[in-house]
Structure 1
Amino acid sequence: MPLSPGSEGVDPRARLLAEHRQRIAHEGIGYLPAWGELTPQEREESVREAAHWLRAAVEAGIAPLTARPEIGRPLLDGSARPQVP
């Protein structure tokens, strides 16, 4: 089952983190693909890796446990942000 921003067990911030990391890499190097150019599998892998980094940041105390991205702000690929209670 794919990891999506609203999937159980995946912090919705992970996709946002993955998108921004890819944007920074794309802008900085230029030959790396933009988020929208990644395959669904590459995006899923990016979100999975971002989720691990986000968990590490929370456990290290450098990212808050409860912070969530702004509701309603579109993601880089134009899709709707998940509704977070």
Structure 2
Amino acid sequence: MEDWLVMAFDSTQQALRAEMLLEYAEVEIDLCPTPKEITAGCALSIQFPQESLAIVREIVLQESVEIRGIFFRQAAGYEQIGLEEGTG
């Protein structure tokens, strides 16, 4: 799970909605506790492989899923990446 990203949420409702949408799109995901280094209003996060980032971004933007952010793990903690294509 080294190259997996974490998507954090402000509400459980949005986390569960994202889970449903991503599973429907057959994206490999894993529900997990939100890492303590990420400040979010919801204790649930979704992990997904880095290669699925494009489809995850597309679904979040198309379906207006409210997220705190998408993060990748670094030695010093978590770094947020941009939601729009090409930002980071």
Is this a same-fold pair by TM over 0.5? no
- Identify the structure with the greater strand proportion: 2
- Structure 1 length-normalised TM: 0.31
Larger-gyration structure (1/2): 1
Report which structure shows greater RCO (CA 8 Å, sep ≥6).
2
- Structure 2 length-normalised TM: 0.30
- Identify the structure with the greater helix proportion: 1
